[in-house]
Amino acid sequence: MNTSNEQINLLLDELLNLHPKKIDLSLDRTFKLLEKLGNPQKKITNSVMCSGTNGKFSTLNFIKEILRYNNKTINAYISPHLVKFNERFEILDKIVTNDELYKLLSEVKEVNQNESITFFEITTSAFFKIAAENSDADYTLCEIGLGGEFDSVNVFTPTISVISSISKDHKEFLGSDIKEIAAAKAGIIKKHVPVVIGYQPFEEAKKVLIDYAHSIEAPTWIYDQDFFIIEEDNKIIYEDNDHKIKFDSFNNYSKFQVKNLGLAIATCLQLYNIDVKEFLKINLHQHVYFPGRFEKIKEGRLFSLINKNNELYLDGSHNSDAAQNINQSLMSMPPKDLCIIIGMLNTKDPEDYIKQFSNIKEIKTVKIPSEESSLSAKELKDRILTLHDSISEEDSIEAAIKAMASDNPKARILICGSLYLAGKVLELNSK
């Protein structure tokens, strides 16, 4: 069998059409399908479940690399993917092949028998099936897709729960204010199951998480109370009641990743027989990769469109708190004109997002290719027109990069506003 990308995409389209809504938060349909599959989620052991708004992917990535350094094999489920859907399924340390994915999804589709179920629910069920079939993995890592309590990943009891920073995002599904959003995220906390709570930019969110954990007797490890992490003089210091670890900074400019690393360290220190200290002695910047997360593009098709004195960065951030984090990293770098190429979904807030950046010289807007929910370049420009003197729209990502580099031959160019945009950029750059 030699399954093509086209065959995979056709099958994924079929799964997309099994339910009238793309997002319909509930666990009922997932549990029903999992029962038909023999409840594979009940076979998941030694597991980490991670929720949050910003940083959950990076936190899981750190956890994954720490575990691998300790010679542990990993099953992992993340969403969304950047370039290929296969990226969501990592089984025994390897991303599934097209053949494996097609066989898996076809089997689950047949078992489902055309019952109404969302795309995320049926693909999540598929992960549990293949993870159970490969249960000799030492650890299973699962990233919550959206929310927490009613996210279809939240159908098993993990060894430990992890919650990264929570901010105002997905308000149409999770609640109108930060307390409601935090309450939804808190839904992954299980009775008597330890939970590690990372840095929270909103005290109200932090209180909701802690209060809920205590109400169901879940042991807590809380950033700024039980563990701490700081960066100073190109060194990072992690500290809790039992450990004080000092090590080299992994990247001078990814300031926001330090807190994610601290959350990952605190989590791994709660797991049995995991050596964190030795892992931290390595060059983290070389060993831990964050695709589409403040990633510097150093080669490829799109890189060839800029000048030798330009810098090209890519980030999938799409809310104001994440934009603040990126801006802090940018401000810590050697001074350069900042030019932004932005594409966003129509459910996001481009005005609030752009307001978080300092010293922007020029902005160009683009539509996210092949994404129905994307704002058009003109719609996006019109939304932020009053925020800057130099804003224009472009027909494509390539045209935006070319024009930006031509107008600003020494500038730092940042492409941002959506993980979907980040994925398209990585795909285009690899062609």
In order, the DSSP letters of 180-215 are HHHHHHGGG--TT--EEE---S-HHHHHHHHHHHHH
Q: Which fold has domain 295-430?
A: Protein-Tyrosine Phosphatase; Chain A (3.90.190)
Q: Residue 173: its pLDDT value, please?
A: 47
Q: Residue 146: its pLDDT value, please?
A: 74
Phi, psi values for residue 89, rounded to 5°: -115, 110
Pairs from 120-125 (Cβ < 8 Å, separation ≥ 24): 120/23, 120/79, 120/145, 120/146, 120/152, 121/19, 121/29, 121/30, 121/33, 121/152, 122/15, 122/18, 122/33, 123/15, 123/88, 124/30, 124/77, 124/152, 124/153, 125/30, 125/33, 125/34, 125/37, 125/152
Radius of gyration of the chain (CA): 21
Can you tell me the distance from the alpha carbon of 293 to that of 406, in angstroms, rounded to the nearest whole number? 25
Q: Which CATH superfamily is domain 5-287 in?
A: Mur-like, catalytic domain (3.40.1190.10)
Amino acid at 415: I
Same topology between domain 5-287 and domain 295-430: no
Chain center to CA of 226 = 25
Q: How would you write the pLDDT of the chain (431 residues) with one tens digit per residue?
A: 799 999 999 999 999 999 988 878 789 999 999 999 999 999 999 999 999 988 899 999 999 999 999 999 999 999 889 999 999 999 999 999 999 999 999 999 999 999 999 999 999 999 999 999 999 999 999 999 877 778 899 999 999 999 999 987 544 445 568 898 999 999 999 999 999 999 999 999 999 999 999 999 999 999 999 999 998 888 899 999 999 999 888 765 577 789 999 999 999 999 988 999 988 887 666 667 778 889 999 999 999 999 999 999 999 998 888 899 899 889 989 999 999 999 999 999 999 999 999 989 999 999 999 999 999 999 999 999 999 889 999 999 999 999 999 999 999 999 999 999 999 999 999 98
Domain ranges for the chain: 5-287, 295-430
DSSP state of 355: T
Q: Residue 170: its pLDDT value, please?
A: 46
Can you tell me the distance from the alpha carbon of 60 to that of 162, in angstroms, rounded to the nearest whole number? 9
Three-state DSSP class for 85? helix
* pTM reported for the whole predicted model: 0.91
Q: Residue 285: its pLDDT value, please?
A: 60
Assess whether the previous peptide bond of 369 is cis (omega < 30° from 0).
no
